[in-house]
A = this chain, B = another copy of it.
Amino acid sequence: MTEDEGPRGYRSRADRREELLDAAALVVRDDGLPGLTTRAVAARAGVAHGVVHYVFGARRHLVVALLERQARASLPRVLAAADAHDDVRGALDAAVGAWIDLVRSEPERFRLLEAVSSSGLDPDGDGALVDAERRLWRDAVAAGLDRWSAAHGVVLAVPTPDAADAVIAVVDGLTRSSVGDPDGAATDRSRALLVRGLAHVLSEPDRGEPDRGEPDRGEPARDEPARAERDRAERD
């Protein structure tokens, strides 16, 4: 289905890689994330089980590769949606909406995103892959913001990287919200609220909410919980 293989079935590592990723995408679509076993991928691709481990090493590497491929495929569409709008709020809403639509159209696919970053990995130095993945997103969103900002002559009220982080956080939160929200009504309401709020802070510098109430101070209420004493080693 993907390509036909030689008489002996020998393909280059790179070709096998693409082929296996195709198979993996199908497996995820059909059987969901937990169905994504190295054996299932191998079976779907019509190769021996070990080939998957030969090409990708560990299962997580396959997952990360699949994830990255997806990201590169999805991002342009999302960024394009924003470009059709001149105002911050409209652009944000379009981009976030496009993303959520993607998530909804193939939910299983996007569970990978969460699954990888949250649960999947931890031991040894493999978190580096996830970090790289996140950085890819962060940079892409920041670049998109810059591009949009320049193209429409709008300057944001906060530094681009900060805005990018906030956008990603919102998208992450909404993505998670859309799980177990089949009709998406709740997610849509949240999206409307969050986009409006985010557009507000990206457009307006902080002046302490003059319209209502009593802002005691800009600094938050640091109550004294356990401060993480953990030596989080990796600071790539």
**A residues whose Cβ falls under 8 Å from a Cβ of B:** 22, 25, 32-34, 69-70, 72-74, 77, 81, 84-90, 93-95, 97-98, 101-102, 104-107, 111, 114-115, 117-123, 127, 130-131, 134, 154, 158, 161-163, 165-166, 168-174, 176-177, 179-180, 182-184, 186-187, 189-190, 192-204, 206, 209, 211-216, 220-223, 225-230, 232-236
From B98, B154, B177, B214, give the contact of A223 (CB < 8 A).
B98
* Measured CA separation A32–B124 after assembly (Å): 12
The answer to whether B190 and A165 have CB atoms under 8 Å apart is yes
In the complex, the 3 A-B pairs of residues with the closest C-beta atoms, listed nearest first: A197-B197, A173-B173, A115-B119
**A11 shortest CB reach to chain B, Å:** 18
Q: What residues of chain B lie closer than 8 Å to A186, measured between beta carbons?
A: 161-162, 165
Q: What residues of chain B lie closer than 8 Å to A158, measured between beta carbons?
A: 193
Q: What residues of chain B lie closer than 8 Å to A131, measured between beta carbons?
A: 180
From B118, B169, B204, B225, give the contact of A111 (CB < 8 A).
B118
* Measured CA separation A215–B62 after assembly (Å): 43
**A140 shortest CB reach to chain B, Å:** 14
The answer to whether B169 and A190 have CB atoms under 8 Å apart is yes
Q: What residues of chain B lie closer than 8 Å to A115, measured between beta carbons?
A: 115, 118-119
Q: What residues of chain B lie closer than 8 Å to A105, measured between beta carbons?
A: 225-228, 230
The answer to whether B226 and A81 have CB atoms under 8 Å apart is yes
The answer to whether A120 and B119 have CB atoms under 8 Å apart is yes
**A186 shortest CB reach to chain B, Å:** 5
From B190, B220, B229, give the contact of A162 (CB < 8 A).
B190
From B77, B94, B197, B203, give the contact of A201 (CB < 8 A).
B197
The answer to whether B87 and A176 have CB atoms under 8 Å apart is no
**A236 shortest CB reach to chain B, Å:** 4
The answer to whether B221 and A90 have CB atoms under 8 Å apart is yes
From B130, B183, B223, give the contact of A94 (CB < 8 A).
B223
The answer to whether B182 and A173 have CB atoms under 8 Å apart is no
The answer to whether A215 and B87 have CB atoms under 8 Å apart is yes
**Which of A115, A183, A209 is the most central at the interface, judged by chain B CB atoms within 10 Å of its CB?**
A209
The answer to whether A72 and B172 have CB atoms under 8 Å apart is no
